[in-house]
């Protein structure tokens, strides 16, 4: 079963992370997608994917150096759907304290902080980064949640040392529990969805989530 997209789906290619794994995963579920690293292609997209692996300041630097930071910002303001994955989700916050103090796109009020700074007490017991498979805990209070119909017994692949801390908890659709620390795994606001894990590396559960997401944004099953 494949998906026929009625929207132009574009992955922002800005030199941070392996965009080809996302590209290949989407093609596996029948989503026609292309990579873009220039203003025109990003601004003309109907659906944008902001990926990322690595550090927050490096990502912001690359976006600005390639002249596409403002294009992504304009896309966010346009009301069209955007999916942020891993570091791409963190870039949607106000700011990050990773190696300094750095501004993000400001979709979600709040900060990005190192995982072991979230807790009080013995930080040495927390292994950084959070890497490997983990489940997500659905926030039943959230409305219009794409997670409702896909089940919550699946596992997803995480690789991160920093975590988002939105001030408005209603934006958090799901958490993950890492060594007793509850961290946002899925956040959403209007046209924006952020996933801290990598759906493209999460096997059948990740592909199932992507199918559900794209079907809710102008796609139909064949």
Structure-block tokens of residue 60: 């912001």
CB 93 within 8 A of CB 108: yes
How crowded is the C-beta side of 148, counted as CA atoms within 13 Å?
Answer: 8
Using only C-alpha atoms, the chain has a radius of gyration, in whole angstroms, of 16
CB 136 within 8 A of CB 145: no
155 flagged as catalytic: no
What does DSSP say about strands 102-103 and 33-36: parallel, antiparallel, or unpaired? unpaired
Say if residue 194 is exposed, middle or buried (CB neighbours under 10 Å; 0-12, 13-18, 19+): buried
189 flagged as catalytic: no
Q: Which of 98, 130, 200, 217 is catalytic?
A: 200
Q: Which of 23, 47, 198, 217 is catalytic?
A: 198
Q: Which of 47, 86, 98, 113 is catalytic?
A: 86
Distance CA 161, CA 145 (A): 26
Distance CA 169, CA 124 (A): 27
- Give the chain's count of helices (H) and strands (E): 6, 16
215 flagged as catalytic: no
Catalytic residues: 86, 198, 200
């Amino acid at each position: 079963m494949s998906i026929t997209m009625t929207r132009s789906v574009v992955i922002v290619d800005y030199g941070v992370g392996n965009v080809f794994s996302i590209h290949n995963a989407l093609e596996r579920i029948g989503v026609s997608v292309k990579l873009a690293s220039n203003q025109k292609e990003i601004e003309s997209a109907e659906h944008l994917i902001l990926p990322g692996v690595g550090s927050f300041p490096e990502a912001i630097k690359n976006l600005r150096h390639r002249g596409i930071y403002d294009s992504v910002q304009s896309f966010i303001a346009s009301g069209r759907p955007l999916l942020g994955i891993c570091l791409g989700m963190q870039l949607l916050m106000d700011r990050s304290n990773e190696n300094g103090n750095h501004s993000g796109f400001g979709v979600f009020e709040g900060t990005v902080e190192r995982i072991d700074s979230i807790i009080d007490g013995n930080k040495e017991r927390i292994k950084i980064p959070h890497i490997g498979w983990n489940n997500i805990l659905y926030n039943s209070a959230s409305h219009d949640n794409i997670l409702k119909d896909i089940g919550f017994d699946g596992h997803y692949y995480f690789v991160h040392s920093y975590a988002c801390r939105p001030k408005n908890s209603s934006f958090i659709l799901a958490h993950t529990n890492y060594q007793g620390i509850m961290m946002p795994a899925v956040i959403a606001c209007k046209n924006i969805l952020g996933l801290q894990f990598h759906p493209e590396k999460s096997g059948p559960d990740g592909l199932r989530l992507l199918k559900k997401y794209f079907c809710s944004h102008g796609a139909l099953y064949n």
